[in-house]
A and B are shown apart, each in its own frame.
Chain A
């Protein structure tokens, strides 16, 4: 196999319109009772549903098989966040079956309801209610079948563990399995059935351990790079030395002297393929390529000025009163600028995909947070019909926003289409750092004022390029304005020297870092304890609840900063969940090293579906947050990425782990809110505030490395 397809044209060959095949769709779902539930009017999915071959505006969320087992179909994917446990919990609640009876089919575009992507802490708060509604409807259908079978009135029926009983005579019963036997019942649901409420919960609210743990501790769990097909080839993608360069000369002759090596080229995409991955690794090292540099890009020393100068115009997020009037009331003005560096997602599983073209249909197993997004990219970029592209998502080895981009899936699909053999693209760690969609470097400028009596006068907030999420404040400032220069974490071309994108709680980490430090600066000047200052200037009951809960657990003792104790706090909201975090740090004045000793976080997320899962997510947020706060930054010179592996890009490790304590508030709010992101947003600010309390100096730039601590202490050596 040393066929050389260099230069082969990959332009789309025409877009085939989708032919709607309801029968095909149902066949792929299977027999039994299938509940098709329409969510289109509420969630705006109609077009996408039709395109996936589902009956227009109807979506299969679940099937009850002849063995009584329930299959839940979801376009969401499992990347560690634990919905493989919490979604079945919600469905089990509505169906009155045990969680163990539910099998999950996730992230398969041929079988699952359309889904935009697994991000933004949307699974529980947006998909959850849809799934519960489908479950409630399915239960209604099953009860109706039982009513016919047992010839009993509906209100005389009760369900337990998938068996319908006569309320008055427990010997009269029929199981879901029996009801579905020999049937292929498809019910289209036009109206909602009532879902259960808190008083009825038997499954929601129980702390359950992960359902995928056994597979994951034995090595059975399959990730995208673990899928094997006959005749498959392993591809290595030629990585340019920098972003924004053009391939000028390519010489693959040395690589091709290795037996079995193939070379494929489609425009800028150059791949070396072999039946053995390590041989492909060796061969790509022999490829010679010259590139012409692109435009001059900023480096890490000029980036912040470049960002402010090139940011889009401001977009008003919120305002009240008049800044001018506020400023005239102020006796003290505070003006500061806050910065954060580019941060990588760095999941331990690099992006991976296996693509296979069979009888005109392309199937791609991909490590992605957006299987339907990848599908639509494959359709448009490879010129395939909708029905001829299927994306399947096995377990994903961490995403954090970085697998919302599925470039590797496109690369694999493109190569498989060219060569007509299955092709695996599995990025190296260096590829992963190079093609990552980084958390953008960003700048926040805040001007604020206090009146004579220590009350806030005004708040003037501008964020550049982090995004608007988390920029609004919870405080009662009489005159305030919040402006975002770019509401999104994606900026217009030319602003960032490489790809940027959503990074766990995008925008919020930057915004909370700036705001909550600035609040502390004002509190210190007003001569007020930072907890008291927050409680005084905020009346939102959720904020007050988490602040008080965290303070109690932490043992917060009132003092005006800097107290020398090294304690700090920060609070914020993300995905409608409110968090307050307190931390204790130790700062080595000799070398600038910050040691985080203890972190306490209280979280009000409304309804908690799985307290065990929610707690793990909080712990994960806190631990991951230590990285962007203290050690993680990507260095670069123009489009050249300098930190390409874990020797110089430093993730949090066991020896830097603080004591972590978490609190889930027993909330008055019956709706579920986000859990995968909120507790990370406070980590920069809480550490910065604790550092100030310890040594009396402020750190305005993330990450807070020892060098920056030494510089702030005036010992720049």
Chain B
């Protein structure tokens, strides 16, 4: 049974007439063709499908489209504004914090959510916050440095 579901997707209002039980991940990737949100494990273990719901990182593979009704949803495609990369995206570029790039959208959005809560996060905070996001290429060292560099800038501004 289809239902009208309204939410804000990457800052634009959207109404879908859709079965509410459909998977958020596959609606994003298929119906909406937002393929930056990646499938990695389907069980919430890897974090490749991470998106932001009202600013908080969630795993799209574990959610129904109905779960985002009346929320503000951000995917990796909506993070940069007017060609201006988000500071976390820019830090990933500057630190070469990626290889194959497949875990990258999930890593970045998890980090954005983490820094929203703890703008001056320590390395230990970042390790704890990203520990459930998997990267197979072994870019961990640089991802950590990239995210920490954003936190340090924040801290420098606060001081």
Tell me if A82 and B99 are in contact (CB < 8 A).
yes
Of B36, B100, B105, B143, the residue contacting A79 (CB under 8 A) is: B100
| Chain A residues, CB < 8 A from B131 | 653-655
Whether, in the assembled complex, A429 has its beta carbon less than 8 Å from a beta carbon of chain B, the answer is: yes
Question: Given A217-B85, A429-B42, A657-B144, do A396 and B30 touch, yes or no (CB 8 Å)?
Answer: no
Tell me if B134 and A219 are in contact (CB < 8 A).
no
Tell me if A209 and B137 are in contact (CB < 8 A).
no
Q: Which of A21-29, A197-205, A283-291, A343-351 contacts B (4 or more CB under 8 A)?
A: A343-351
Tell me if B34 and A219 are in contact (CB < 8 A).
yes
| Chain A residues, CB < 8 A from B14 | none
Tell me if B96 and A277 are in contact (CB < 8 A).
no
Q: Mark A599-642, 1 if CB is under 8 A from B, else 0.
A: 00000000000001000100111111000000000000000000
Tell me if A651 and B136 are in contact (CB < 8 A).
yes
| Chain B residues, CB < 8 A from A348 | 38, 40, 46, 48, 100, 102-103, 134-136
Question: Given A276-B31, A396-B100, do A219 and B77 touch, yes or no (CB 8 Å)?
Answer: yes
Whether, in the assembled complex, A490 has its beta carbon less than 8 Å from a beta carbon of chain B, the answer is: no
Of B75, B85, B102, B140, the residue contacting A398 (CB under 8 A) is: B102
Interface residues of B in 80-131 (CB under 8 A from A): 80, 85, 89, 92-94, 96, 98-105, 108, 126-128, 130-131
Of B41, B136, B139, the residue contacting A429 (CB under 8 A) is: B41
Whether, in the assembled complex, B37 has its beta carbon less than 8 Å from a beta carbon of chain A, the answer is: yes
Whether, in the assembled complex, B29 has its beta carbon less than 8 Å from a beta carbon of chain A, the answer is: yes
Of A218, A346, A616, the residue contacting B136 (CB under 8 A) is: A346
* In the bound complex, CA of A59 to CA of B119 (Å): 53
Of B27, B34, B79, B101, the residue contacting A221 (CB under 8 A) is: B101
Whether, in the assembled complex, A488 has its beta carbon less than 8 Å from a beta carbon of chain B, the answer is: no
Interface residues of A in 651-709 (CB under 8 A from B): 651-655, 657, 660
Q: Mark B2-14, 1 if CB is under 8 A from A, else 0.
A: 0000000000000
Whether, in the assembled complex, A80 has its beta carbon less than 8 Å from a beta carbon of chain B, the answer is: yes
Whether, in the assembled complex, A49 has its beta carbon less than 8 Å from a beta carbon of chain B, the answer is: no
Q: Which residue of B lies closest to A618 (CB)?
A: B138
Q: Which residue of A lies closest to B108 (CB)?
A: A217
Assign chain B's interface to a size class.
35 or more
Tell me if B136 and A347 are in contact (CB < 8 A).
yes
Of B101, B133, B141, the residue contacting A397 (CB under 8 A) is: B101
Tell me if A225 and B137 are in contact (CB < 8 A).
no
Whether, in the assembled complex, B152 has its beta carbon less than 8 Å from a beta carbon of chain A, the answer is: no
Instruction: Give the A interface residue count (CB, 8 A).
Output: 58
Tell me if B43 and A647 are in contact (CB < 8 A).
yes
Question: Given A218-B80, A349-B38, do A657 and B98 touch, yes or no (CB 8 Å)?
Answer: no
Tell me if B38 and A234 are in contact (CB < 8 A).
no
Which of A221, A222, A348, A398: most chain B CB closer than 10 A?
Answer: A348
What distance in Å separates the Cβ of A214 from its nearest Cβ neighbour in chain B? 6
Interface residues of B in 44-86 (CB under 8 A from A): 45-46, 48, 75-77, 79-80, 85
Q: Which residue of A lies closest to B41 (CB)?
A: A429
Q: Which residue of A lies closest to B138 (CB)?
A: A623
Of B23, B37, B92, the residue contacting A217 (CB under 8 A) is: B92
* In the bound complex, CA of A278 to CA of B138 (Å): 30
Interface residues of A in 172-217 (CB under 8 A from B): 209-210, 212-217
| Chain B residues, CB < 8 A from A225 | 29, 35, 39
* In the bound complex, CA of A392 to CA of B89 (Å): 28
Tell me if A214 and B93 are in contact (CB < 8 A).
yes
Tell me if A349 and B102 are in contact (CB < 8 A).
yes
Of B23, B36, B100, B142, the residue contacting A219 (CB under 8 A) is: B36
* In the bound complex, CA of A544 to CA of B34 (Å): 52
Whether, in the assembled complex, B33 has its beta carbon less than 8 Å from a beta carbon of chain A, the answer is: yes
Of A209, A223, A646, A653, the residue contacting B102 (CB under 8 A) is: A223
Tell me if A397 and B138 are in contact (CB < 8 A).
no
Whether, in the assembled complex, B153 has its beta carbon less than 8 Å from a beta carbon of chain A, the answer is: no
* In the bound complex, CA of A582 to CA of B23 (Å): 47
Q: Which residue of B lies closest to A221 (CB)?
A: B101
Tell me if B102 and A347 are in contact (CB < 8 A).
yes
Tell me if A228 and B96 are in contact (CB < 8 A).
no
| Chain B residues, CB < 8 A from A660 | 141
Q: Which residue of A lies closest to B144 (CB)?
A: A654
Of A213, A219, A279, A347, the residue contacting B92 (CB under 8 A) is: A213
Whether, in the assembled complex, A363 has its beta carbon less than 8 Å from a beta carbon of chain B, the answer is: no
* In the bound complex, CA of A281 to CA of B29 (Å): 14
What distance in Å separates the Cβ of A430 from its nearest Cβ neighbour in chain B? 8
Whether, in the assembled complex, A130 has its beta carbon less than 8 Å from a beta carbon of chain B, the answer is: no
What distance in Å separates the Cβ of B28 from its nearest Cβ neighbour in chain A? 11
Whether, in the assembled complex, A428 has its beta carbon less than 8 Å from a beta carbon of chain B, the answer is: yes
Of A223, A350, A612, A655, the residue contacting B128 (CB under 8 A) is: A655
Tell me if A216 and B101 are in contact (CB < 8 A).
yes
* In the bound complex, CA of A79 to CA of B79 (Å): 24
Q: Mark A381-403, 1 if CB is under 8 A from B, else 0.
A: 00000000000000111101000
* In the bound complex, CA of A377 to CA of B143 (Å): 38
Which of B25, B30, B99: most chain A CB closer than 10 A?
Answer: B99
Known: A276-B31, A428-B42. 19 other contacts (CB 8 A): A79-B100, A217-B98, A218-B77, A218-B80, A219-B35, A219-B77, A223-B102, A225-B35, A276-B30, A281-B26, A349-B38, A397-B101, A400-B136, A426-B39, A621-B138, A647-B45, A654-B126, A655-B127, A657-B141
20 contacts between A and B (CB under 8 A): A79-B100, A80-B100, A82-B99, A214-B85, A214-B93, A215-B101, A216-B101, A217-B76, A218-B89, A219-B36, A221-B101, A276-B22, A277-B26, A278-B23, A281-B23, A347-B102, A348-B48, A619-B138, A651-B136, A654-B144
